[in-house]
Structure formats: C-alpha cells, structure tokens
Amino acid sequence: MKISNKPIARRMMLIIGMCLFAAMTVDRAHSQSLSSAFTQGTSALQSAQEELAALRNQITQEKIPMSSELRAEEAKVLTMRREVERMQRMNDTRGLDLRNLEVQLKSRTDELQYVSTLLTDYVNRLNSELNPSEFGVYGDKLLEIINITDDPNISKEQIFQSQLGGISLGLERMKDIVGGKRFPGKAVLPDGKLGEGSFAMVGPLVYFASADGKFAGLAERGPSLEPRLVQFDDTAISSIAEVISSGKGEIPMDLTLGKAAAIATTKETVVEHILKGGIWMGPILLFAVVSLILGVYKAVEMKTVRKLAPGVLSKVLTLVREDNNEEAKEFLKQHKGPASDMLQDALKSVHLPKELLEEFMFENILSIQPKLERGLAIISTTAAVAPLLGLLGTVTGMINTFKLITLFGTGDARSLSSGISEALITTEFGLIVAIPALLLSAYLSRKSSGILADMERVSISFVNGVVAIKNPSPYSVREKEAFSK
C-alpha cells in the first residue's frame, strides 16, 4: 500500500501561513504600544527634569545658611574639644601630684618606721648593757618604754615619744658614767649572801662597798638578777670603800673592762665541758669507750698474728716431695700463725685432687676471716653514728635556745650565744669520736685484708707445689726456679 505526501505538504504550508499572519499582527500591535510608551516616557522625563531643577534651586537657596550653621557648630565642637583636653590635662596633673604625694608619704612613713626600729634596738641594747646594779636606777624606765613599744593598742606617736624618752635616758646615763654617780643598792657578797651597800659608777666600771665596810670590789653580772661582787685584796677594799663613801681617792682599774675576769671564769675542766653537752653526751661517750677498747684489742690481736717466714713453704714442699708429711707437720708447729695452721691442715689432704685441695684451703681462709674482722663493724658504726648523735644533740639544744628566745626575746645576745655554744658541744665530741674511729677502722680493715691476702698467697703456692710434685712432668724454667728456692 502506497501513501501520498501531498496532504502533508498542504498542511505544512497552511501552518506556516497562519504563523506569518500571527507574527504580522503581533508586530503591528507592538509598534503601536512602543509609540505610546515613548510618548509617556517623554512626558515623565520632562516633569522629572522640572522637579530636579526646582530641587536644585531649593538646595542652592538653603545651602548658604546651613553652611553657616555647620561652621558655627564646628567652632563649638572645637571649643568643647579644647575644654575637654584642658580638663584632661588638669586631671592628669592632679593624679600625678596625688601619686607624688603618696610616694612621699610612703617614703616618710618608711623613714619613721626605720627610725622607730633604730630607737627600739637602741633601747633594747641599752637595757642589755645595763649593769645589774643599774636596774634600780634605769631598769624600770627602760622596761616601761619596751612595754609601750610592744603594745599594739598604743598609737605610733606615743610609741615614738616614749622611744625619744629612751634616748634622753641613755644620754642621762652617759652623763652619769662620765661624771660618776653614787647610789645605794644590794649585791651578792663573796660568802653568797645578799648585802646592802653603795655603788659608784666610774666610767664603764661599777664598784660596790658593803655598808659595814668588810667587802668592796667590782660589781659584775652574776647568775642571778642581783650584781655579783668581785673582791680584790685588803688594800683595794679600803680604797674602794673610801672612794664610794667620800667620792675621792684611788681605786684599782681593770683595763680589760672585765674581759680578763670573764675569760678566767670561762675556763673549765673536761668533765664540766662534757656535762654542758647534755643527755646526748652519754651515748657518744659510750660509743667512744667501746670503740676505743675494741680497737686497741683488735690492734694488739692483729699485731701478734705472725706471717709465714720466708723459706718455710719451700722446706714444707721439700718434705712433702720426700713423703715426710709428719716431719713437715712438726716443722710447721715451730712457726705459729694462721698460715702455718692452714698448712698443717692441708698436709692431711695432699692426696686430694687440685680442685678439692684448693677448696679445702679456701675453707680455712674463710674460717679465719670472721675472727679477724670480728668487732670491726662496731668501730665503723661508731664512726658513722657519733656525728649523727652530735648533730642530734645540737638540734635539741637549738630547739631549747629558740624556746628561750620565744619566751624572753633576743635582748641578751650573750645568754643566747652561751646556749648555742653548749648545743654545739655534742657535735664537737661527735667529730672527736668519729674521726679516730674512722681511721682505726680503716687501719684494722687494711691489716685484716693483708693477713688474708698473705694466707691466700701461701695457699696458692702450696697447691701449685703439691701439683708439681704429683705430676713429675718437665717443669718450666719459672717453676724450677721457684721450687729450687
């Protein structure tokens, strides 16, 4: 069946014609709309240009007064800015001045605190330097000043005024020392009784004369709060009593200001020095005695240990080679010592192999070693423990000293120094015990090692000789020379 294309072509032509007609219709309508739009746009543009011209005229009219107002406001802002800067400078200057004043105030406060500290130290030092005879004259006032200084409820101004009173008191005392002063009081007499009398201050020295005139001499610090009388000969007693009673005369002077007498009083015996060390001196001395006795005993013991004389070993080996073991034993009995005893025991085992013979002789050396080293550990322990005990005693003494500081303060440095020196006595004796113990332990250890080394040398030589006897092989040149000796 065959299909014709003519109807299709007609349809296509019809469609194309219809499209062309529609396009022409749309183009004509679009041309008309463009013309109306152009007309409307032109009229709108003219009206906008007219409005723009009117607006420009209005801006031109309002621009000049607004510019004047702007310049006026800018001038006001500049004026206000300058005022702010001036006020800021004034504020900074005021803050700087305030900081300078604060720095100056702190500086002055620190200076006053430093001066107050110096005055406190001066009052405390003056109180500690007072002779016990002066306590009744100056002690109460100084104690009052010290109590005011330590009272937190009193103002700093009152404290400062009281400290200035301490300066006045010190100047007054200096005037009395230079010009001399007499005043009544009490002192501990040479017989131990507290007697009444009169004091006389002559420079740094204070003299005392009893009311009955029997005792006179220097008044010094004693173990109690009352001054102690140091008496001279009869001539000095009468002259001191005359000066104190009349204010005129000659008196003996101590040019060392009591230091010579103080040094004389510090001399003490060994027992007194040991007793000052306290409770820990007992263990230290116990270790010292035990170590000393044991060291002397061990030194004597090792000194008596005899080494094998030269030629003895070669003689014994000769007898062993000749099969005269009993004669060799009798020969060794003539030579005392651990090496000789070891060889006597070894002669019983010469038939054993070399390894067993070496072990047998090594057992003999090990059995001698504990006897030689017995007690050496105690001596070395003493050398290690004695300094520790001394340090323990020192720490205990320092703790007691700080307890006294907590209770009584640091006004009297001499009492603190004496306590510290007593605390160091244990360390002193600990080192005195430890150093000789250490040297003795080293000496005895070396001596013991030498004895053991000699026995080891003898045992090696004996074993080698026995082996050479059992094995009659050709000897080396060195073995022949050693055996011939």
Dihedral in degrees, nearest 10, Cα atoms 20, 25, 29, 34: 20
Q: What is the mean pLDDT of the segment spanning 169-180? A: 76
SS (H, E, C) the chain: CCCCCHHHHHHHHHHHHHHHHHHHHHHHHHHHHHHHHHHHHHHHHHHHHHHHHHHHHHHHHHHHHHHHHHHHHHHHHHHHHHHHHHHHHHHHHHHHHHHHHHHHHHHHHHHHHHHHHHHHHHHHHHHHHCCHHHHHHHHHHHHHHHHHHHCCCCCHHHHHHHHHHHHHHHHHHHHHHHHCEEEEEEEECCCCCEEEEEEEEECCEEEEEECCCCCEEEEECCCCCCCEEEECCHHHHHHHHHHHHHCCCCCCCCCCCCHHHHHHHHCCCHHHHHHCCCCCHHHHHHHHHHHHHHHHHHHHHHHCCCCCCCCHHHHHHHHHHCCCHHHHHHHHHCCCCHHHHHHHHHHHHCCCCHHHHHHHHHHHHHHHHHHHHCCHHHHHHHHHHHHHHHHHHHHHHHHHHHHHHHHHCCCCHHHHHHHHHHHCHHHHHHHHHHHHHHHHHHHHHHHHHHHHHHHHHHHHHHHHHHHHHHCCCCCCHHHHHHHHC
Better-scored residue on pLDDT, 299 or 324: 299
SS3 state of residue 230: strand
Rounded to whole angstroms, how far apart are CA atoms 14 and 211? 170
pLDDT at 321 over 90: no
Mean pLDDT, residues 10-18 taken together: 68
On the question of pLDDT at 436 being above 80, the answer is yes
The confidence band for 1, taking pLDDT boundaries of 50, 70 and 90, is very low
| pLDDT at residue 435, rounded to an integer | 93
> What tokens does 382 get?
């003493």
Residue 4 confidence class, pLDDT cut points 50, 70, 90? very low
Check residue 254 and give its pLDDT: 67
- Give tens-digit pLDDT for 21-71: 666 665 555 555 667 767 777 887 888 888 888 888 887 777 778 888 888
Give the best-scoring range by mean pLDDT among 45-59, 125-139, 171-185: 45-59
Give the least confident one: 2-6, 154-158, 330-334: 2-6
Average pLDDT over residues 267-275: 76
pLDDT mean over 172-192? 77
- Report pLDDT for 11: 64
The listed range with the strongest mean pLDDT (71-75, 208-212, 272-276, 472-476) is 71-75
**How many residues are there in the chain?**
485
Percentage of the chain lying above the pLDDT 70 cut: 82
* Mean pLDDT score, 129-145: 76
Band the pLDDT of 418: cuts 50, 70, 90: low
Residue 281 has pLDDT above 60, yes or no: yes
- State the residue for tokens 């000393």: 292
Higher pLDDT, 242 or 439: 439
**Distance between terminal CA atoms of the chain?**
151
Which range has the worst mean pLDDT, 15-29, 159-173, 274-288? 15-29
Mean pLDDT of 335-346: 76
For 365-391, the pLDDT digits (tens) are 777 888 888 888 888 888 899 999 988
Query: Rounded to an integer, what distance in angstroms lies between the CA atom of residue 448 and that of residue 298?
Result: 10
208: phi then psi, degrees, rounded to nearest 5? -135, 140
pTM attached to this predicted model: 0.47
Range in 2-16, 206-220, 279-293 the model is least confident about: 2-16
Question: Which pLDDT score is estimated for 255?
Answer: 67
Mean of pLDDT values over 81-90: 84
What pLDDT, on the 0 to 100 scale, is given for residue 251?
Answer: 74
What does the pLDDT read at residue 159? 81
